[in-house]
Amino acid sequence: MYTGQVVFAQLMEFLPRHEFNACVQRYRGNARVRDFSCRDQFLTMAFAQLTYRDGLRDIETCLRALGQKLYHAGFRSKISRSTLADANRLRNWRIWADFAQVLIRHAQSLYAKDGFAVKLDHAAYALDSTTIDLCLALFPWAQFRRRKGAVKLHTLLDLRGNIPCFIRITHGKKHDVHVLDYLPIVLGAFYMMDRGYVDFARLYRITQQKAFFVTRAKKNMAYSRRESRKVDKSTGLRSDQTIVLQGEKSSQSYPEPLRRVAFYDTEHKRRLVFLTNNFDLPALTIAQLYRCRWQVELFFKWIKQNLRIKKFYGNSVNAVKTQVWIAVSVYVLVAILRKELNIPRSLSEILQILSVTPFEKTPIFQALSATSAPNPEVACCKQLTLFDL
pLDDT tens digits for range 36-56 = 999 999 999 999 999 999 999
* Mean pLDDT score, 327-343: 95
Pseudo-torsion of CA 6, 10, 11, 12, nearest 10°?
Answer: 100
The pairing of strands 212-216 and 148-158 is: unpaired
Q: Is residue 377 included in any domain, yes or no?
A: no
Banded pLDDT at 374 (limits 50, 70, 90)? very low
Same domain, 199 and 257: yes
> Considering its fold, how many domains does the chain have in total?
2
- List residues bridging with 191 in a β-sheet: 125, 213
Q: Is residue 175 included in any domain, yes or no?
A: no
Q: Which pLDDT does position 382 carry in this prediction? A: 54
Same domain, 225 and 269: yes
Element (H, E) at 305: helix 294-306
* Structural domain boundaries enclosing 77: 7-95+313-369
Same domain, 14 and 49: yes
Question: Helices 38-51 and 94-110: crossing angle, nearest 10°?
Answer: 60
Same domain, 321 and 273: no
Banded pLDDT at 89 (limits 50, 70, 90)? very high
Q: Is residue 270 included in any domain, yes or no?
A: yes
Q: Is residue 185 included in any domain, yes or no?
A: no
* Mean pLDDT score, 217-221: 91
Banded pLDDT at 213 (limits 50, 70, 90)? very high
* Mean pLDDT score, 356-385: 68
Q: Which pLDDT does position 339 carry in this prediction? A: 94
Query: What DSSP line would sit under 70-99, residue for residue?
Result: HHHTT--S---HHHHHHHHHHS-THHHHHH
Banded pLDDT at 35 (limits 50, 70, 90)? confident
Q: What share of the chain in percent tops pLDDT 90?
A: 78
Phi, psi (rounded to 5 degrees) for 27: -115, 15
Banded pLDDT at 2 (limits 50, 70, 90)? low
Point out the least confidently predicted range of 41-45, 78-82, 115-119, 173-177: 115-119
Same domain, 275 and 323: no
Alpha carbon distance 170, 302 (integer Å): 20
Q: Which pLDDT does position 3 carry in this prediction? A: 63
Question: Helices 81-90 and 317-340: crossing angle, nearest 10°?
Answer: 100
Alpha carbon distance 98, 157 (integer Å): 17
Banded pLDDT at 388 (limits 50, 70, 90)? low
Same domain, 41 and 12: yes
DSSP letter at 113? T
Alpha carbon distance 194, 78 (integer Å): 47
Q: Is residue 111 included in any domain, yes or no?
A: no
Element (H, E) at 39: helix 38-51
Q: Which pLDDT does position 259 carry in this prediction? A: 97
362 dihedral zone (left: phi>0; alpha: psi -120 to 50; beta): beta
Percentage helix, strand, coil, to 5, in the chain? Answer: 40, 20, 40
Same domain, 341 and 251: no
Q: Which pLDDT does position 314 carry in this prediction? A: 94
Same domain, 36 and 81: yes
Q: Which pLDDT does position 378 carry in this prediction? A: 43
Q: Which pLDDT does position 370 carry in this prediction? A: 59
Model pLDDT for residues 111-138, shown as the tens digit of each residue: 998 888 888 889 999 999 999 999 999 9
Q: Is residue 351 included in any domain, yes or no?
A: yes
Q: Which pLDDT does position 82 carry in this prediction? A: 94
Q: What share of the chain in percent tops pLDDT 70?
A: 94
Query: What DSSP line would sit under 126-160, residue for residue?
Result: EEEEEEEEE-TTT-TTSEEETTEEEEEEEEEEETT
Banded pLDDT at 372 (limits 50, 70, 90)? very low
Q: Is residue 147 included in any domain, yes or no?
A: no
Mean pLDDT (the chain) is: 91
Q: Which pLDDT does position 335 carry in this prediction? A: 95
Per-residue pLDDT for 238 more than 80?
yes
Same domain, 202 and 278: yes
Per-residue pLDDT for 377 more than 50?
no
Q: Which pLDDT does position 85 carry in this prediction? A: 96
Q: Which amino acid is at 366?
A: Q
Same domain, 215 and 256: yes
Q: What is the CATH number of the domain that holds 238?
A: 3.30.1370
**The length of the chain, given as a count of residues:** 389
Model pLDDT for residues 253-311, shown as the tens digit of each residue: 999 999 999 999 988 899 999 999 999 999 999 999 999 999 999 999 999 999 999 89
Per-residue pLDDT for 373 more than 50?
no
Per-residue pLDDT for 244 more than 60?
yes
Same domain, 355 and 268: no
Alpha carbon distance 308, 313 (integer Å): 9
The pairing of strands 163-171 and 143-145 is: unpaired
Q: Is residue 356 included in any domain, yes or no?
A: yes
Alpha carbon distance 133, 143 (integer Å): 10
Same domain, 220 and 270: yes
